[in-house]
Structure 1
Amino acid sequence: MLVVFGIVVLALVLFVTEALPIDVTAILVMVLLMLLGTEGLVNLTHISTAEGISGFSNPATITVLAMLILSSGISRTGLVQILGRKMAAFAGEDRDRQLLATIGVAGPVSGFINNTPVVAILVPIITDLAHAGKTSPSKLLLPLSYASMFGGMLTLIGTSTNILASDISGRLLGHPFGMFEFTKLGVIVLVVGSLYLLTVGHRLIPERVPVDEDYIQEYAIEEYLTEVVVDPESPLVGQTVETAIDGVAFDADILQVVRDGEEFIEPLGHKTIRAGDVLRLRAGRETLQQLVERDTLTLTGHPPRTEAELEPDTEAAQTLVEVVIPRGSFLAGKSLASSTFRQRYDANVLAFRSRGETVRDHMDRRRIRVGDTLLIQAAPDSIDRLSDNEDFIVAHEPEQPHYRTEKIPHATAIMAGVVGLAAVPWGAIGSALAGLTGVGAFSALAALSMPILVTALAGVVAMVVAGVLEPTELYDAVEWDVIFLLAGIIPLGIALEQTGGADLLGALVAATGTYLPPLGVLWVFYMATGLLTGVISNNASVVLMLPVAVEAANGVGASPFAFVLAVTFAASTAFLTPVGYQTNLFVYGPGGYKFSDYIRVGAPLQVLLSVVTVVGIAFFWGL
């Protein structure tokens, strides 16, 4: 038990500090459990090799994988984007209508498409909507994330946490969740949470991003932008832009070349520098001084101070854009120097936001983390390529998006079939038909089962057959770090159960039953899960808390299923920090938020929904 507790503590530390990517941490946990298990060095964790790798074959893992693919298929048709545009047309420039439209689309849609890709799809639409209506994106993006969490609790498939919790509930209690098991409570959470955002929440959100969009001023990089003239005797004459400045020795980039009044932007790499060229640079003062002295450059005295001054005088689309790094991106965990980002996309990074900090210099040395937002300069075709790549979330819609709109009927029919077939109570229908008709053959329906795992995998095949997805796109659609996280963390929950760790923790919490009624203990579990999810992933908190919750419920003589529901809802509605839930990370940078903004807006919401959820569980399912 002590060994397993030690592994839990190690996992928590690694999750919080992000010393390793979350999926690598999960694999480390899995390896430690097996090394110290029955077939390892000593029998300390009671985890065999088969149990250690059981997370890879767990129904929850496979179901989440299939649902990620199905969600990708829906997004590639442009269905959510079309709904977003209709939302924008309805909202116009009225802030209240913009907020209502944001919540009205994100909430219900997240009940049937995994809420993580829903937010990824809507971030650029909401950002464009805000700027078009002269509203700060900060006022809309955090409500977008929160609304997607409300909506995720409408059905079993709204979030990967629900699917994982259903599997654990089935193993511990023999009671997995039905497709619409908690929809009635989910609707109440959605309505109450939405009313909070519409009345109180939006007043608590500061306008972190200026209404008048100007990235140069927003990221405060005016001092890092400079214009220099290449003197005839400069050693840069005759060199290409790509080789002119040693990126290792100098923290600087050539953003544009102006020659005879004509402005050149990306791709610049192979353009030869001539005497008299005006180079627009990104460089700090110290670096600039070194370049001027070494390369015989002359300052023009007219550096660009606004986004309009930095963009070329052409009818091309904007050349500055924000890009968010989602989980699974090839950039996550790498530095700009170690990746091929610049070469692959002909793009310059002017600054980036990481966990509320704006980084403007020595960016090549900083490790890019999930949720970081890069301010890049690139040509329109490069921005389009970034938009088409699932390694990035571009905070503006492309001018000519590539959607398979003709496949919308196929995708919606397939998704409806996946949900419908899994939700149909085949047993009850068979018994009813047999009783009404007297035909015993109908009773065979009672034995028919359509688990969501089966219907989801069938839906994946149907998407490929119908041409909604290409076969090669299946692998790109999966967030593999989430899959490895599930596979690695599931054995930790098993170890907690088998070593008695869950029993011990459950008994300790049950001791509060001496002072609190069962409803109070249930509330304690809700709040504890919410706080834990704020510092580690929602899936990890469910794995750790559910076995403990079941034991605590048994200890106070309450319904274990009620406690399972409380933990599930708390883990899927974590509002207090940007790092506990992936959708919060997606809006962190584009919204310009500070860590404290999540506490300011999320803490009252967390307390409000804790009461609503706990009372709702007691009312609908009993204690």
Structure 2
Amino acid sequence: MPVFEVSSVAVVFLLILAVLVAFVTEVVPNDVTAISVVAALVVLEPWTGVGTRDAISGFANPATVTIIAMYMLSAGVQNTGIVERLGVILADFTGGSEFRALVATVCTTGPIAGFVNNTPVVAVFIPMVTGLAEDSKMSPSKLLLPLSYAAILGGTLTLIGTSTNILASDFARLLIDGRDGIGMFEFSGLGAVLLAVGLAYLLTVGWRLTPARVPPDSDPVSEFDLDDYLTFMQVRPDSSAVGESVEAFDAAHPDVRILQARRGGDAYAGPHSDRVIEAGDALVVHGSLQAVNRFREATGLGQRASSAVTEDTFEAAATEGALAKAVVPERSRYVGETIAETGLHEYHETSVLAVRREGELIRTDLADLTLRTGDLLLVRTTPAAIGYFAETGELVVADERAIEEIAAADTADIAPLSPKTPVALGILATVVAVAALDLLPIVIAALAGVVAMVVTGCLTTADAYDAVSWNVIFLLAGVIPLGIALESTGGAAVIAESLVALDGVLPLIGVLFVLYLVAGLLASVITPVATAVLMIPVGVDAAARLGANEFAFLLAVMFASATSFMTPVGYQTNLMVYGPGGYRFTDFLKVGGPLQLLLAVVATVGIAVGWGI
């Protein structure tokens, strides 16, 4: 290899290594890392061979545009309320049975995720699943991990099931002669087999391995270990609180938060209440032990040591506000902002009491805490705020009981069906049919579907833009040119050589299996999209050198990238259930590791039988 080529490959490999480290450590958000790659590739053009046009080609890539359109189409279907209504039907089906609750969860989520983006599906199902768990007197942890895994498995059913499938289709068009992408249902047979095997595992072995981390009917005060952070205070006649409104008194003492005031048998929510505090009132105060002691001494309040604050304390004022658990989803604008910067307290009368992050419980200095995707918040919030979060998706309320108590609604109000439901479902079905019959390229069919959704009133333009996980789009647009650099400099060929070397000790199906394992492990660390971009060219190149079926090797990377179970960070739905399920990092290894290995075997054999190698 010429010196120039060696140095080019070395530069690209070093850049990939830096990207991998950044993805794993998350020193900056992954989408920021990806956009930095675009700039770095152009700056290093003498070595990477990637100019300005190629560097920004990811934004105009058909896969990127298709994924944007599919996010919008999914939102149009989501707005119909059909998924929520299905959850209500499932609650009736389970009848309080633990196993029925599991069957209902996984057997419904999987097929839906084949046609609707699995992230919003999981967001809708999280509170419903916790409700099913409560009705069945079981830990929600036993259902939430299977929920995520079933949604991931459903993504293997169709071309639009997940973004990695769409990306793989574009790579097939670019890298394999005679291929014009992948058909809508071309791999659905194998996807159905993987779904069936995965569901069978979740209903048997996975059920036994999944831990019950969150106790049934757990009190969130105890679950977040807030016994020393929530205190009853008694208003004495000589206290400076007398005659002040709750809102003014709370604002004057920023180190603590007044969550509720009680008088006689009545309770009313704070801290935004204009109710005037009187002697004899009881106040529920949130803050560290030191802050509460300073507050008590400064205001002349007394402490009611005999009274403990529990969830029941807030249920007395549920029509004004109650406790709720909420997950920060990937596309929330709160990601990257401190809790103070979000304006939750000022604009939505929502007080964050604690945050659970990757097994760590954070209860102090919350105002300065920068929120991340997957954070689980315990909040004292209001009906209006719950409605806002549900409408915008900025937070996913993970507690169905809290939703019901705050909304004070009956079943019909909880899951209303839109009159536009048949129209939205018809548009989605038409998009699938048009793409499946090759009447139009999928990117055009999907964009036309979005236009139809907006024109028919199923989706507003604002909702369409809000539905897109733009961080995923920027991640995709940033790593696509990195894949171009890897291919054009010969870096993909260098990595492919290591796979080719295995041909001397393994049969061809063994090489395919190793490729699947490597791609699956990589997807668990650096996201499925990045794995597909980096590994598909490697797999196709290796197949060409081995004289093997290039499409079979592409499918192996595609399926491996789309089925990442071993870590909470490998797939966004895993991250969404991490906090509500109270899981540990090792739980994903224990439950997801055997599943990923099982599917690696089934998928490798299925690809060999279905397409040949």
Q: 2:435 aligns with which of 415, 422, 426?
A: 422
1:11 paired with 2:25, answer no
Q: 2:160 aligns with which of 140, 157, 160?
A: 157
Q: 1:294 aligns with which of 285, 295, 298?
A: 298
1:67 partner letter: M
Whether contact under 8 Å (1:576, 1:598) holds in the other structure is: yes
CA distance in 2, matches of 1:621, 1:317: 60
In structure 1, runs of 5+ residues without a counterpart are 38-42, 426-448
CA distance in 2, matches of 1:269, 1:10: 51
In structure 2, runs of 5+ residues without a counterpart are 1-8, 404-408
The 5-angstrom pairing of residues 378-393 of structure 1 reads: 378-393=381-396
CA distance in 2, matches of 1:90, 1:102: 11
Q: How many residues align?
A: 593
CA distance in 1, matches of 2:603, 2:38: 33
1:612 paired with 2:602, answer yes
Q: Which residue of 2 aligns with 1:445?
A: none
CA distance in 2, matches of 1:253, 1:622: 65
2:425 partner letter: T
Residue 482 of structure 1 deviates from its aligned partner by 1.1
Q: Which residue of 1 aligns with 2:521?
A: 531
CA distance in 2, matches of 1:489, 1:247: 49
Q: 1:499 aligns with which of 489, 501, 506?
A: 489
Change in CA separation of 1:195 and 1:317 when aligned onto 2, cut-off 3 Å: farther
Whether contact under 8 Å (1:266, 1:378) holds in the other structure is: no
Residue 232 of structure 1 deviates from its aligned partner by 4.0
Q: Which residue of 2 aligns with 1:2?
A: 10
The 5-angstrom pairing of residues 587-598 of structure 1 reads: 587-598=577-588
1:52 paired with 2:55, answer yes
Q: 2:530 aligns with which of 533, 540, 547?
A: 540
1:186 paired with 2:191, answer yes
Q: 2:362 aligns with which of 348, 359, 362?
A: 359
CA distance in 2, matches of 1:543, 1:346: 43
Matched residue SS, 1:472: helix
The 5-angstrom pairing of residues 376-525 of structure 1 reads: 376-397=379-400, 398=403, 399=409, 400-401=413-414, 403=416, 405-425=418-438, 449-525=439-515
CA distance in 1, matches of 2:288, 2:17: 42
Change in CA separation of 1:491 and 1:272 when aligned onto 2, cut-off 3 Å: farther
CA distance in 2, matches of 1:280, 1:302: 13
Matched residue SS, 1:377: strand
Q: Which residue of 2 aligns with 1:67?
A: 70
CA deviations 1:490-539 (Å, max 9, x no partner) are 11100111111111111122212221111111111111111111111110
Q: Which residue of 2 aligns with 1:553?
A: 543
1:405 partner letter: S
Residue 269 of structure 1 deviates from its aligned partner by 5.4
1:53 partner letter: I
2:480 partner letter: I
Residue 303 of structure 1 deviates from its aligned partner by 3.9
1:103 paired with 2:106, answer yes
Q: 2:339 aligns with which of 336, 341, 357?
A: 336
CA distance in 2, matches of 1:278, 1:305: 12
1:30 paired with 2:38, answer yes
Runs of at least 4 residues off by over 6 Å: 246-249
Q: Report which stretch shifted further, 144-153 or 393-402.
A: 393-402
* TM-align CA RMSD: 1.9
CA distance in 2, matches of 1:87, 1:318: 28
Matched residue SS, 2:329: coil
Change in CA separation of 1:227 and 1:7 when aligned onto 2, cut-off 3 Å: same
The 5-angstrom pairing of residues 238-317 of structure 1 reads: 239-242=244-247, 244=249, 250=255, 252-266=256-270, 268=272, 270-312=274-316, 316=319
1:177 paired with 2:182, answer yes
CA distance in 2, matches of 1:18, 1:89: 42
Matched residue SS, 1:223: coil
Whether contact under 8 Å (1:267, 1:379) holds in the other structure is: no
Matched residue SS, 2:377: strand
CA distance in 1, matches of 2:79, 2:36: 34
Q: Which residue of 1 aligns with 2:6?
A: none
1:165 partner letter: A
Matched residue SS, 1:257: strand
1:575 paired with 2:565, answer yes
The 5-angstrom pairing of residues 105-124 of structure 1 reads: 105-124=108-127
CA distance in 2, matches of 1:500, 1:167: 20
Q: 2:217 aligns with which of 196, 199, 212?
A: 212
What percent identity do the matched residue pairs reach?
47
CA deviations 1:137-158 (Å, max 9, x no partner) are 1111111111111111000000
Residue 310 of structure 1 deviates from its aligned partner by 3.4
CA deviations 1:70-113 (Å, max 9, x no partner) are 00010110111122222221122111111111111111111111
Residue 334 of structure 1 deviates from its aligned partner by 1.4
Whether contact under 8 Å (1:535, 1:579) holds in the other structure is: yes
CA distance in 2, matches of 1:249, 1:321: 22
**TM-score where L is the length of structure 2:** 0.93
2:105 partner letter: T
Q: 2:130 aligns with which of 127, 132, 140?
A: 127
Q: Which residue of 2 aligns with 1:137?
A: 140
CA distance in 2, matches of 1:519, 1:318: 59
Matched residue SS, 2:526: coil
Q: Report which stretch shifted further, 570-579 or 12-21.
A: 12-21
CA distance in 1, matches of 2:279, 2:321: 28
1:412 partner letter: L
Q: Report which stretch shifted further, 595-604 or 226-235.
A: 226-235
Q: Report which stretch shifted further, 224-233 or 577-586.
A: 224-233
Matched residue SS, 1:337: helix
Matched residue SS, 1:338: helix
